[in-house]
A and B are shown apart, each in its own frame.
Chain A
Amino acid sequence: MTYLAKPKLHHPSLAKNRVGYTRRDYEGKVSTLCAGCGHDSVSSAIVQACWQLDIEPHRVAKLSGIGCSSKTPDYFLGASHGFNTVHGRMPSVLTGANLANRGLLYLGISGDGDSASIGLGQFAHAMRRGVRMVYIVENNGVYGLTKGQFSATADRGSVAKKGAVNHDAAIDLVSLALQLGATYVARGFSGDKAQLVPLIEGAIRHGGAAFIDVISPCVAFNNHAGSTRSYDYVREHNEAVSRIDFIDLAPEQTVGADEDLVCVPQHDGSTMRLRRVKPDYDATDRIAAMNQVQALHAAGEIATGLLYVDPEARDLHLGLNTVAWPLNTLGEAELCPGGEVLEKINAGLR
Chain B
Amino acid sequence: MQRSDTQDPAYFHKVVDCQWACPAHTPVPEYIRLIGQGRYDDAYMVNWVSNVFPGVLGRTCDRPCEPACRRGRVEDKNVGEKKPEAVAICRLKRVAADHKSQELRALLPKPLPRNGKKVACVGAGPASLTVARDLATQGYAVTVFDGETKPGGFIRSQIPRFRLPESVIDEECGYILGLGVELRAGRRIESMRALLAEGYDAVFVGCGAPRGRDLQLPGRQEAGERIRIGIDWLASVSFGHVTSVQPRVIVLGGGNTAMDCCRSARRLGASSVTVAVRSGYAQMKASPWEKEDAEHEGIPILDFHVPLAFEHEGGKLTGMRFKKAQTGEEVSIPCDEVLIAVGQENAFPWIERDAGIAFNEHGLPLLDAQSFQSSLPQVFFGGDAAFGPKNIITAVAHGHEAAVSIDRYLHAEPVTKRPPPHVNLLSQKMGIHEWSYDNGITNELRHKVPWAAAEKALASIRVEVELGFDAATAFKEAQRCLNCDVQTVFTDKLCIECDACVDICPMDSISFVENGAEADLRQRLKAPALNLAQDLYVSGTLKTARVMVKDEDVCLHCGLCAERCPTGAWDMQKFLLLTTKAGPACRDTPARAPLAERKVTA
Contact = CB atoms under 8 A, between A and B. Distances in A.
Given A6-B506, A11-B509, 19 more contacts: A2-B563, A5-B440, A7-B440, A8-B443, A9-B74, A9-B441, A10-B78, A12-B73, A12-B74, A35-B566, A36-B496, A36-B498, A37-B500, A38-B498, A41-B500, A41-B503, A190-B499, A217-B498, A231-B497
11 contacts: A7-B440, A8-B443, A9-B74, A9-B75, A10-B506, A10-B507, A11-B527, A24-B506, A35-B566, A231-B496, A235-B544
A275 B508 CA distance: 29
A7 B503 CA distance: 13
Interface string B46-73: 0000000000000000000000000001
A299 interface: no
Interface of A: 1-14, 24, 34-38, 40-41, 43-44, 190-191, 193, 217, 219, 223, 231-232, 235
Contacts of A11: 507-509, 527, 554
Contacts of A5: 440
A55 B151 CA distance: 69
Contact of A35 (B75, B559, B563): B563
A7 B556 contact: yes
B560 interface: yes
B566 A6 contact: no
Interface string B502-533: 11101111000000000000000001101000
Given A7-B506, A193-B499, A231-B496, A13 B543 contact: no
Contacts of B441: 7, 9
Contacts of B73: 12
Contacts of A223: 496
Contacts of B75: 9
Contacts of A7: 440-441, 443, 506, 556, 558
A39 B15 CA distance: 32
B556 to A, nearest CB: 6
Most buried by A among B530, B560, B566: B566
A2 B504 contact: yes
B78 A231 contact: no
A297 to B, nearest CB: 23
B439 interface: yes
B435 to A, nearest CB: 9
Given A1-B433, A6-B560, A11-B527, A35 B565 contact: yes
A12 B527 CA distance: 9
A284 to B, nearest CB: 31
The secondary-structure label for the interface of chain A is loop
A266 to B, nearest CB: 28
A36 B78 contact: no
A232 B507 contact: no
A75 to B, nearest CB: 10
Given A191-B497, A232-B543, A14 B508 contact: yes
B79 interface: yes
B507 A35 contact: no
Contacts of B554: 11-12
Interface of B: 73-79, 433, 439-441, 443, 496-500, 502-504, 506-509, 527-528, 530, 543-544, 554, 556, 558-560, 563-567
B499 A191 contact: yes
B559 A9 contact: no
Contact of B563 (A4, A44, A193): A4
Given A11-B508, A35-B566, A235-B544, A2 B503 contact: no
B560 A36 contact: no
Given A6-B506, A7-B506, A12 B76 contact: yes
Contacts of A34: 566
B582 to A, nearest CB: 42
Given A8-B78, A9-B75, A10-B506, A219 B498 contact: yes
B433 A2 contact: yes
Nearest to A40: B503
A12 B75 CA distance: 8
Contacts of B560: 2, 4, 6
Contacts of A1: 433
Contacts of B500: 35-37, 40-41
Nearest to A75: B503
A43 B556 CA distance: 23
A244 to B, nearest CB: 19
Given A35-B564, A35-B565, A235-B544, A9 B507 contact: yes
Nearest to B434: A3
A6 B543 CA distance: 29
A2 B501 CA distance: 12
Contacts of B433: 1-4
B500 to A, nearest CB: 5
Contacts of A35: 500, 563-566
B491 to A, nearest CB: 15
B523 to A, nearest CB: 12
B496 A9 contact: no
Contacts of B543: 232, 235
Most buried by B among A12, A37, A193, A219: A12
Given A4-B440, A7-B558, A14-B508, A36 B566 contact: yes
A9 B78 contact: yes
A267 B566 CA distance: 42
B79 A9 contact: yes
A2 B509 CA distance: 19
A13 B523 CA distance: 13
A1 B412 CA distance: 59
A277 B566 CA distance: 32
A34 to B, nearest CB: 7
Contacts of A44: 499, 502-503
Contacts of B77: 12
Contacts of B558: 4, 7
B428 to A, nearest CB: 13
Contacts of B499: 41, 44, 190-191, 193
